[in-house]
């Protein structure tokens, strides 16, 4: 049975693991790198080591199970408020306004106008 030698990134133990004890994760889309995941026989922790595409190909060819995963596409958890996005210029304007002494009067005057 084919074995691969790895070094645990956590405890630095040199491990000789069979293909059954390894899992390769390949970046879908780019497929230029990936990780090999395994459980260390010394410290008993699950670890992942970044591998290049040639190493990933060698492992998969030897029979290691692989997953091809893309970056997660996460939806924004809150609905986006209406109106234009806040820009860096808006922040600079806010900073300049807050640095002065009149921002509170301007704000309360604005509130009085809208009532
Ligand atoms: Zn370890």
For 70-105, what is each residue's pLDDT tens digit?
766 777 788 878 888 889 999 999 899 889 888 888
Q: How far is the CA of 16 from the centre of ligand 1 (A)?
A: 12
Q: Judge whether 75 lies within some domain.
A: no
Q: Judge whether 9 lies within some domain.
A: yes
* Residues that place a CB less than 5 A from ion ligand 1: 8, 10-11, 13, 40, 42-43
The pTM (predicted TM-score) of the whole model is 0.58
- Domain extent, residue 17, equals 3-69
Q: C-alpha distances in angstroms, 110 versus 52, 102, 106, 113, 115? A: 59, 12, 6, 5, 9
Q: How far is the CA of 59 from the centre of ligand 1 (A)?
A: 20
Q: Judge whether 89 lies within some domain.
A: no
Q: How far is the CA of 28 from the centre of ligand 1 (A)?
A: 28
The number of folded domains in the chain is 1
């Amino acid at each position: 049975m084919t074995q691969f030698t790895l070094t645990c990134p956590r405890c630095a133990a040199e491990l000789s693991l069979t293909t059954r004890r390894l899992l390769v994760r390949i970046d879908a889309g780019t497929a230029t790198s990936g990780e090999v995941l395994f459980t260390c026989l010394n410290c008993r922790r699950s670890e992942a080591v970044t591998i290049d595409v040639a190493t990933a190909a060698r492992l998969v060819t030897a029979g290691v199970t692989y997953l091809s995963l893309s970056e997660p596409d996460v939806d924004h958890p809150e609905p986006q408020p209406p109106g234009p996005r806040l820009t860096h210029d808006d922040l600079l304007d806010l900073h300049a306004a807050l640095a002065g002494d009149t921002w509170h009067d301007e704000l309360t005057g604005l509130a009085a106008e809208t009532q």
